Structure 1
Amino acid sequence: MRHALILILVAVITISVILIIYRPDLLEDVWLWLVGLIGPIIGFTKAIIKSVSNFFKSLDHA
């Protein structure tokens, strides 16, 4: 699971850097939305990770 999260993080960073270099006008509006929504995004991500880990723990006990 961690490998997938690391892969997704690297992909997002790479795409962001490419867009910053070649098309900074696209990111101008998007980053304001991300800054505003970072709290709910983090909370939603934590909830998903917790539910997935509980699911895998329930499979181990069964």
Structure 2
Amino acid sequence: MRHALILILVALITISVVLVIYRPDLLEDVWLWLVGLIGPIVGFVKAIAKSISNFFKSLDNA
């Protein structure tokens, strides 16, 4: 589970870096939204990861 989250994070960072290098005009207005919403995004991802983890633990116990 943790490996999938790391893979998704690396993919997002890579796409962002490529866009910054080749098409910075696309990210000009978006980065302020991302900075402002990083807290809720992190909280949402943590909640999803916790619920998925609990789901798999419940499958192991059944």
Q: TM exceeds 0.5?
A: yes
Q: Secondary structure at the match of 2:18?
A: helix
Among all aligned residue pairs of Structure 1 and Structure 2, give the percentage whose two residues are the same amino acid.
Answer: 87
Gaps of 5+ in 2: none
Output one character per residue of 1:17-44: Cα deviation in whole Å (capped at 9) or x when no partner: 1111111111111110001111110111
Gaps of 5+ in 1: none
Kindly tell me the number of residue pairs found equivalent between the two proteins. Answer: 62
Find runs of 4+ consecutive structure 1 residues off by over 3 angstroms.
none
Paired with 1:8 and 1:35, the residues of 2 have a C-alpha distance of: 18
1:33 — aligned with what? 33
Q: Give me the TM-score of the superposition, normalised by structure 1.
A: 0.92
Cα RMSD of the aligned pairs, angstroms, is 0.8
